Structure 1
C-alpha cells in the first residue's frame, strides 16, 4: 500500500448518512471568514453522485430567487460538518440533469415511501392458536 492510499484512508469519514440521487438534503458547511467560524446550510435536491472512495462528490441543486444554483461537494471534505436527509425522492435515473430545464412545479419529485416491517410476534401468536 503506498503512502497516498494510507493518507486517504485516514481522512475518509466513517459516519455518513445513506442518501441517493433524488433525495432532498441539508448540507452544513463550516465557513471560516478571518478569525470567525460559522455554519452555513445549503438545502437542495441531489442531482448526481460521481466517483468513488475518497474522491466521491455529489451535486446539489436548488432554486434561489428564480435562478437555479448548483453546488458540487466532495463527500469526505472536512468542511462538511453534517448531511441530513429531509425527503427521499423516487427517481429512475442516476443523473437528474434534466431538472435544469424544469421550473417551479416541474422540479418536484415523487416521494419515496418506505414500508415499515412489522414484528413477527403477531405471526407467531396466530400460529400457536391453530
Structure 2
C-alpha cells in the first residue's frame, strides 16, 4: 500500500507528481494554497499532454531565472539534474543562454546554483565509488 493511498485520487496524483518534480518526499498539506498546488498545478497541469516534464522544467527554469527566483531555482535545478532531465552540459548551456535574456546578475545566480548542483552530484558519485 502506498503512502498516499488513503487520499482522494486527485490529491494522490498531485503529491506523487510533486515528489517526482521536486525530487524529495512530500506530505499532505492543509489550506487552499496547498490544495491548489497539489490538486490543480501538479495533478492537472503537470500531467497534461503536449509537453514533457523536461519541457515544463525548461520553461519554468527560464521564467524563474527572469524573475530572479533563486530560491525556487535551488529546488528545480537539482531536481532536474537528479532526474536525468538536464545533464551538466545542458545546465551550463542554459546559464549562457539565459544570461543574455534575463540579465547578467540573474545569470550569475543561476550559474552558482548550477555549479553547486554539478559539484554536489560529483561528490555523491565519488562517495558511491568509494
Higher relative contact order (CA 8 A, sep 6+): 1
- Which protein has the bigger helix share? 2
| Same fold flag (TM > 0.5) | no
Normalising by structure 2, what TM-score? 0.28
- Which protein has the bigger strand share? 1
